[in-house]
Chains A and B, each alone.
Chain A
Amino acid sequence: MIPLVALLVTAMATAIGALGALFLKRGAHHFSFRPAKLLRNRQLVAGALLYAASVPLYLYALKVLPLAVAYPLTSMTYVWSALLARRHLNEQIRIGRWCGILLIVAGIVVISV
């Protein structure tokens, strides 16, 4: 029996990870190796913090859920980030790219189940 809470936490981790990627993308255009500039890049810092926040959630998921459930769930993050990219970055995602993303998700499912 798989605890529902664990599934929700995992789904949250994938959403937070995708949000982190969105903010990293927004901050990436002002990336600099100078520490002072790096820390003032709010989008980049927010992205890094969101990514960091998703890590303990993922670790919890991997601990509580069977790998055959946890890994396929984590691959959902690529679907969320594509939806976020379309909504907030105006990226045009045509059928080919969606098929590619779904093949990647399918591959992760096949490896882990």
Chain B
Amino acid sequence: MGSKAPRPRPSEPAGATRRAIALVVFCTIGMTLAQAVLKVALSRETGIAALVLDPFFLAGLALMCASGVLLVLALRHGELSVVHPLLALGFVWVVLASFAIGERLAWKELCGIALIMAGVALVGRSGGAA
């Protein structure tokens, strides 16, 4: 990998960064949904044969693939050092979803997602998206 000298490339323009951030947001929502749906499918403990016909399992796989495509599209528009850390938004969605289904949030979870959201804001601004 180190054999080829890296090509100098200017930072991505602000509009591209904004598009990349929007794509990552949808990507992380898709991944969180995929995990939830796959968990339902895998917790049923039926055989492999039943699993590949399980609509939840298939929906989970489809969501995973769609999220993968969104990640690649996000990487096309935004810088790697902006797009990759924003994947941590998945943690935020998980905590918010558990709140939505009536689970009580612990203080550390609230503090944790506050820190992540502050970090996401800083990383997003650093890409010129503010």
Q: Give the interface of A toward B (CB within 8 A).
A: 18, 21-22, 24-25, 27-29, 31, 44, 48, 75, 77-78, 81-82, 84-94, 96-97, 99-113
B95-130 Cβ-contact flags toward A at 8 Å (1 or 0) = 100000000000011011111111111111111000
Q: Which of B81, B85, B88, B115 has the largest count of A CB atoms less than 10 A from its CB?
A: B81
Check B1–A88 contact: CB distance below 8 A.
Answer: yes
- 4 closest A-B pairs by beta carbon, nearest first, are A100-B122, A103-B119, A111-B112, A107-B115
For chain B, residues 47 to 84, give those with C-beta under 8 angstroms from any C-beta of chain A.
68, 71-73, 75-76, 79-84
What residues of chain B lie closer than 8 Å to A96, measured between beta carbons? 122, 125-126
Check B76–A103 contact: CB distance below 8 A.
Answer: no
Would A82 and B112 be within 8 Å (CB), given that A25-B80, A90-B6, A101-B123 are in contact? no
Check B126–A24 contact: CB distance below 8 A.
Answer: no
Chain B's interface: helix, strand, loop or mixed, by majority?
A: helix
Check A24–B119 contact: CB distance below 8 A.
Answer: no
A-B contact count (CB 8 A): 132
What residues of chain B lie closer than 8 Å to A102, measured between beta carbons? 119
Shortest Cβ distance from B121 into A: residue: A100
B93 at the interface (CB under 8 A from A): no
* Cα–Cα, bound, A25→B73 (Å): 9
What residues of chain A lie closer than 8 Å to B44, measured between beta carbons? none
* Cα–Cα, bound, A32→B122 (Å): 31
Check A108–B116 contact: CB distance below 8 A.
Answer: yes
Which of A24, A104, A105, A109 is close to B72, meaning CB atoms less than 8 Å apart?
A: A24
Would A88 and B6 be within 8 Å (CB), given that A21-B84, A96-B125, A97-B81 are in contact? yes
